[in-house]
Amino acid sequence: VLYFNYCCPWAHRTLLVHGLKGLEDIVRLVEVDSRDQVHGWWFSGRRGPDRDPLYGGRFMKDLYQRADPNYNGRVTVPMLWDTKYETIVNNESSEIMRMFSEAFDDFLPLEKQERNKGDAALVPQHLQKQLDVLNKWVYDTINNGVYKAGFASSQGVYKEHVTRLFQSLDQLEYHLGEGEHYPYLFGEHITEADIRLYPTIVRFDVVYYTLFKCNMKMIRLDYPRIHEWLRRLYWNEGLESAGGVFRKTTNFEEIKRGYTSVAAGNGIIPAGPVPHILPL
C-alpha cells in the first residue's frame, strides 16, 4: 500500500511512477488528509477513507508506531507499507520511485518491464550518469530549493537560496533548448528526470511563487521552454503518459489548500492563478 497526499511533491513523484508503470492492481493507493496540527497526516474521510483501511487507525502516526513502537521521528508521506510483513518498506520518495520502476516487473506485461524498454526505460542505461548529475542539482536547488527559500530563517539565507533557484531554472531553460533535450529533458522519452522535476514545476506559479516567495520570475511568463515542457506533460493523454497520469495526479485545489495551511498562517486559500495551468 502507498500512503500519499496530493499536496506533497515527494508523494507526487511516486504517484507518477506508480501510474506510468501501471501498478494499480499491485500497489494500492491510500490518500491521507492534510496534517492535523497535533497528530499530523490523518484519515479524515474528507479526502480518502475515514479510517486506515488496513488497521482502522485515524492517524498515519499509528502505522509508523506499528512498524516500530519506539518511533519518535517525522511521520511523512509518501510511505510504502508491506501488507505481508506488516511494516514500512520505505518512506523515501526517490527510493520508492526506483522500486516502482523495477521491483514489480515480474508481475507486469513484458512491454512494461524496464529491461525490455531499452531507450524508453525511465532510467535508460546510457543516461544513468547524466540523470544522476541532473537529479542532484535539480534536487538541491529546485525541488528542495523552493523549500529552502520558503522556510529561510533570515533575509540573507532567503536571498542565497532564491538566487540559486532561479539560476538553476535559467540553466534548465537553456538545457531544454539543446536539440537532444527535446521534447523531454533527455530527448524523445520521459525519464526519471522529468518525473522528479514535474511536481515542483507544476506547483511553481500556483504556490511557490506566492507562498514561498519564489517570485523573481514565473514559469508561464518567463520560461517558454520549461512552460511548454510542463504543459506537454500535463496535457499528454497518450501511451507515453499512460493516458494522462500527469494531469490525473495533479490536484491544484489540494495543493493550494495544503501549502496555505503550512506556509501562510491564516488558512485563506488563494483564488488564482487563473487558470492554474494554461492550455498547450
Ligand X SMILES: N[C@@H](CCC(=O)N[C@@H](CS)C(=O)NCC(=O)O)C(=O)O
Helix, strand, coil shares, percent, the chain, to 5:
55, 10, 40
Question: What is the nearest approach in angstroms of ligand X to the Cβ of residue 13?
Answer: 8
Q: Which residues are annotated as a binding site for glutathione?
A: 41, 74-77, 92-93
C-beta separation of 276 from 269 below 8 A = no
Beta bridge partners of 158: none
Q: Return the residue of 36, 92, 102, 254 that touches ligand X, per CB under 6 A.
A: 92
Question: What is the nearest approach in angstroms of ligand X to the Cβ of residue 90?
Answer: 9
The reply to whether 80 sits near ligand X by the rule CB under 6 A is no
Q: CB nearer to ligand X: give 173 or 194.
A: 194
Number of residues that bind ligand X (CB under 6 A): 11
Q: What are the Cα distances from residue 53, in Å, to 27, 48, 49, 83, 249? A: 14, 10, 7, 11, 21
The reply to whether 8 sits near ligand X by the rule CB under 6 A is yes
Query: Which amino acid type is present at position 239?
Result: L
Question: At 29, which helix (H) or strand (E)?
Answer: strand 29-31
Query: Which amino acid type is present at position 208?
Result: Y
Task: Enter the DSSP assignment of 114.
Answer: G
Q: CB nearer to ligand X: give 93 or 260.
A: 93
Confirm whether 8 is a catalytic residue. Answer: yes
The reply to whether 62 sits near ligand X by the rule CB under 6 A is no
d(CA 201, CA 178): 20
Q: Return the residue of 76, 135, 236, 250 that touches ligand X, per CB under 6 A.
A: 76
User: Where does 25-178 have alpha helices with state H?
Assistant: 60-67, 93-102, 128-138, 145-150, 155-176
Q: Return the residue of 22, 28, 40, 264 that touches ligand X, per CB under 6 A.
A: 40
The reply to whether 78 sits near ligand X by the rule CB under 6 A is yes
Q: What is the dihedral of CA 218, 221, 223, 226, to 10 degrees?
A: 90
Confirm whether 147 is a catalytic residue. Answer: yes
Question: What is the nearest approach in angstroms of ligand X to the Cβ of residue 89?
Answer: 12
Question: What is the nearest approach in angstroms of ligand X to the Cβ of residue 12?
Answer: 9
Q: Binding segment for ligand X among 19-27, 76-84, 115-123, 133-141 (CB under 6 A)? A: 76-84
The reply to whether 10 sits near ligand X by the rule CB under 6 A is yes
Q: Please compute, for residue 171, the number of CA atoms within 13 A of its CA located in the half-sphere on the CB side.
A: 11
Question: What is the nearest approach in angstroms of ligand X to the Cβ of residue 187?
Answer: 26
Give residues in contact with ligand X (CB under 6 A): 8, 10, 40, 74-78, 91-93
Active site residues: 8, 147
